[in-house]
Structure 1
Amino acid sequence: MTQPLVTILDDEPEIRRILTEALEDAGFRTQSFARAREFEASLKRVTPDVCLVDLSLPDTDGLALVHRLALEQGAAVIIISGRAQVQDRVTGLELGADDYITKPFDPAEVVARIRARLRAPKAQQHPSDVARFNGWTAYFDRYVLVSDTGAETPFSHAEGEVLRLFLESPKRLISRAQMQETLGGAAGESFDRAMDVRISRMRTKLGEDPKNPRLIKTIYGAGYIFLGDVAWD
């Protein structure tokens, strides 16, 4: 079995070395890049399983790059940054990152976060990448929602994980603990905030009234319920 591929984009040689050694010792394949141009060129040849991206890059805006990766690539995106402000974390998650790790970091924690991300697909119950519900069609192979009028709305890898979880368990309560176990990530305020962001963005893309959503209902103190009727192709 081919080991998962993790790409590292960071302009600090020591950071790249530390991450490469830790990941390869843990059994991952790695590629590392100091510049976004080289990194993006590599994506045209191969899609990694996880992308580790620093925000402070010399040749591009790291947040803009994260947003493009989230919408265009099938890889999980984890930000590793020296920006520790809450707003930086929120912005990164809102733009589609799956996780956010601040520097300095423990390499073992990075390995654990990556393993958690890669466990998520094992929870999928449907081999299909197409689901239809309440006038919408979700294409998980190309990360697009199509309305009954044919209008297309892209969604990120992280948003797709949450949507797929709901579509695989319609009309059943999904607790925060179940979401954390299924989707991976470290439990706590950071994970809760990430889920809030992703669910809010999915509601917006589905045209939901934020004060009275019809499809993704919040059960305060318990979790969420997806109320749509779902059919998988």
Structure 2
Amino acid sequence: MTADQPLVAILDDEPEIRQLLSQALQEAGFRTTCFGRATEFEAGLKRQPPDVCLVDLGLPDRDGLALVHRLALESGAAIIIISGRAQVQDRVTGLELGADDYIIKPFDPAEVVARIRARLRKGRGDGAQRASRAQFAGWSAHFDRYILCDDQGHETAFSHAEGEVLRLFLESPNRLISRAQMQEALGGAAGESFDRAMDVRISRLRTKLGEDPKNPRLIKTIYGAGYIFLGDVRWG
């Protein structure tokens, strides 16, 4: 496994399920990290932010839906619930609270792998046909390695979810992008959770780009309308 492969964080209190998911994902080319309790999971996310979180709702130390909502507001990762709760209302609630997908137990590991791949592809089309590097304002964004590089050669990692937002901006520079357009391009349930998740991702991108939060020069907020990325972008 290499650092440029997407990282999936698995949170489930059943060791057999953690092992099953981890093995299937590693065989499919993903890196994984596993947790049996929410407290360990949250500490792990601070050490190494994942690209995707697989979250069971039946946790011994935390309400699963509350955790999903917090992740949607604070994390840059895609969130997929894996739960034995099969009622329609549970699925609706999970998606409304910010989950990107909902898989019901028992499941086929191949389906989980396919859902994760689909989620990581969503919003960026066929990656094989798109440039993996963009240059702008003294920065280089390497989407194949999830790295930002400044003009001094210093590297800063970004998550896949942050990369989705950055690519959206860089592919439409100097154009207004509304929240509705972002939701359509990036997926996820529309509403407060999606808006807050976008706010978090954009805030983190600004920090990594060295932006002044009170007066950003690259990613501008147009209140009530959306965002504009200001600058010239060169791909390839």
| TM-score for both structures, normalised by structure 1 | 0.69
CA-atom RMSD, angstroms? 3.8
Name the amino acid aligned to 2:42. L
Cα offset for 1:48?
A: 5.0
Name the amino acid aligned to 1:97. A
What is the DSSP-based 3-state SS (H/G/I as helix, E as strand, rest coil) of the residue aligned with 2:102? Answer: helix
Q: 1:136-155: per-residue Cα shift (whole Å, max 9, x none)?
A: 00001110100001111000
**Distance (whole Å) between structure 2 residues aligned to residue 125 and residue 188 of structure 1:** 32
**Distance (whole Å) between structure 2 residues aligned to residue 59 and residue 177 of structure 1:** 32
Give the conservation status (yes or no) of the 8 Å contact 1:143–1:157.
yes
**2:121 is equivalent to residue 110 of structure 1:** no
**Distance (whole Å) between structure 2 residues aligned to residue 183 and residue 172 of structure 1:** 17
Cα offset for 1:110?
A: 1.4
1:83 to 64, 84, 89: 64
**Distance (whole Å) between structure 2 residues aligned to residue 148 and residue 41 of structure 1:** 40
Q: Give the count of matched residue pairs.
A: 200
2:130 to 127, 131, 143: 127
What is the DSSP-based 3-state SS (H/G/I as helix, E as strand, rest coil) of the residue aligned with 1:186? Answer: coil
| Other-structure match for 1:10 | 12
**Distance (whole Å) between structure 1 residues aligned to residue 168 and residue 144 of structure 2:** 15
| TM-score for both structures, normalised by structure 2 | 0.68
Structure 1: unaligned runs, 5 residues or longer: 1-5, 14-32
**Distance (whole Å) between structure 1 residues aligned to residue 144 and residue 199 of structure 2:** 24
Return closer, same or farther for 1:124/1:175 CA change in 2, 3 Å cut-off: farther
| Other-structure match for 2:106 | none
Cα offset for 1:120?
A: 1.8
Structure 2: unaligned runs, 5 residues or longer: 1-7, 58-62, 96-100, 104-114
Cα offset for 1:61?
A: 1.8
**2:79 is equivalent to residue 99 of structure 1:** yes
Name the amino acid aligned to 2:102. V
What is the DSSP-based 3-state SS (H/G/I as helix, E as strand, rest coil) of the residue aligned with 2:177? Answer: coil
| Other-structure match for 1:232 | 235
Name the amino acid aligned to 1:83. G
